[in-house]
Amino acid sequence: MTEFELLHRLGAALAIGLLVGLERGWRQRDEKEGQRTAGLRTYALSGLLGGVAGILSPLTSGLAVPVTIAAYTVAISAFQWLESRADGNVSVTGVVAGIVTVALGAYAALGDLTVAAAGAAATAGLLALREPLHAWLKTLSWPEIRAAMILVAMTFLLLPVLPDRSLDPWQAVNPKEVWLLAIVIAAVSFAGYVAIKMMGSKAGIAAAALAGGLASSTAATLTFARMAREGRGDGISLLAGGVLIAGTVMIARVLAVAGALNPPLVPTLGLPLGAAAAVMAASGALLLLRRPRRPGDEPKLAMKTPFEFGTVLKFAALLAVVTLFAKLALAKAGQGGLYAVAALSGIADVDALTLSVARMPDGIGHQVAAIAIGIAVAVNTVSKAVMCGLFGSRALAMIVGGVSAAAIAAGGIALAFAPE
């Protein structure tokens, strides 16, 4: 390690301490000198101490860092104990923040500077958000905590251990991909729940629809359908608007992906998909922005849980089965059965079919490719209306189904005028 790099890493360790110390010093700015355990200078020196220990680590057989952290922990704990006796403050946050600062300073000397800086930013952020986090914690219910724990377990405990390869003889279903889809469905549902709770019915549904449409319009539809089943009837129009906006984003995403992979497809595909998206976007916006008949009748959605684990698993399993059937159909029918495969794939997912068709050789023709993608989009749009009926309510299914039929009709008419 050169002299310049040593100074650079020590400077990073000092900056980490200054960042954490800035928050700590500002929070304790009203206290007199000598009445607080640690402030700006102490945390800055703590980060620098960790950096020095990290640099000395290779010269001490790796003992410098653990010995320094242990001695620092004893010292700052003793001063925190004296302070708590004087003012009755029994918080251990300052002690933990100091230990983390030393550890991050040591890592800045030994490891990746970007990771160390990110850790310092996260530490300072958590310290600065004490009041908002405590206030938010008081509003949490047990179903919300349980849902968050399930989502974390799904993502960080189960996903890494699943095999990332197809296990069936037809090489169609990848367990890791199926479980990742289940995580996406649960995450979109959770995000929609949080958005509506924080932003209100209209703004929350609009935000959840836009984000859900980018991640998975199917997951967003499942979320809104479940809300329709749990809530009162006066929010059905808002939820239908959310489903349609998510569908609009899905169509825009399909066109963007197809255009990126095969630009000549855009003229043929743009007109029908654009017409369908325009109908869905206009209808969704009208449903979301519609004013109540009487003042004070603003629809409110009463949701019980962020998501239902059983429903997520059932839907992920359904998509896996449909994917398997689509793979088998393609193997049996070949290129001549492309339209049938597009219809089967559209039930579960549009992106897979879009990626496959857009990357096919030019021999199938732009018109054939556009029709295949259009079929997948149309079937996926119809499947969302069916999903609204199965997982939501009849009223939601009727609204979404009616608008979806109009959008598909507009796309079909536009396809007749699209250039080949």
Q: Which of 309, 318, 368 is nearest to 341 (CA)?
A: 368
pLDDT band at residue 408 under the 50/70/90 scheme: very high
Query: By three-state DSSP, how is residue 127 classified?
Result: helix
Percent of the chain exceeding pLDDT 70 equals 83
Domain boundaries, the chain: 3-136, 140-417
* Tens-place pLDDT, residues 300-336: 555 556 667 777 777 677 667 766 776 676 566 655 5
Distance CA 228, CA 225 (A): 5
- Give backbone dihedrals phi and psi of 371, rounded to 5 degrees, phi first: -65, -40
Assigned token pair, 16: 């980490």
User: Looking at residue 358, what DSSP letter applies?
Assistant: H
Q: Would you place residue 40 in the very low, low, confident or very high pLDDT band (cuts 50, 70, 90)?
A: confident
What one-letter code names the amino acid at 237? S
Mean per-residue pLDDT over the chain, rounded? 82
φ, ψ of residue 365 in degrees (nearest 5):
85, 145
Residue pair 212/246 in contact (Cβ under 8 Å)? The answer is yes
Per residue in 69-123, pLDDT (tens digit) is: 999 999 988 888 877 776 666 678 888 999 999 999 999 999 999 999 999 999 9
What distances in angstroms separate CA 298 from CA 101, 202, 235, 237, 308, one per listed residue? 49, 9, 9, 11, 27
Please determine, for residue 240, whether its predicted confidence score (pLDDT) is greater than 50. Answer: yes
The predicted model gives 39-52 an average pLDDT of: 91
Residue 342 near residue 376 (C-beta atoms within 8 A)? yes
| In contact, 301 and 239? CB cutoff 8 Å | yes
What is d(CA 1, CA 302) in angstroms, rounded to the nearest whole number? 60
Displacement of CA 138 from its chain's centroid (Å): 24
- 342-382 pLDDT tens trace: 887 787 778 767 766 776 545 556 777 788 888 989 999 99
**Sign of the CA dihedral with 288 first, then 294, 297, and 298 last:** positive
pLDDT tens across 161-203, in order? 998 888 777 776 788 878 887 887 788 778 777 777 777 667 8
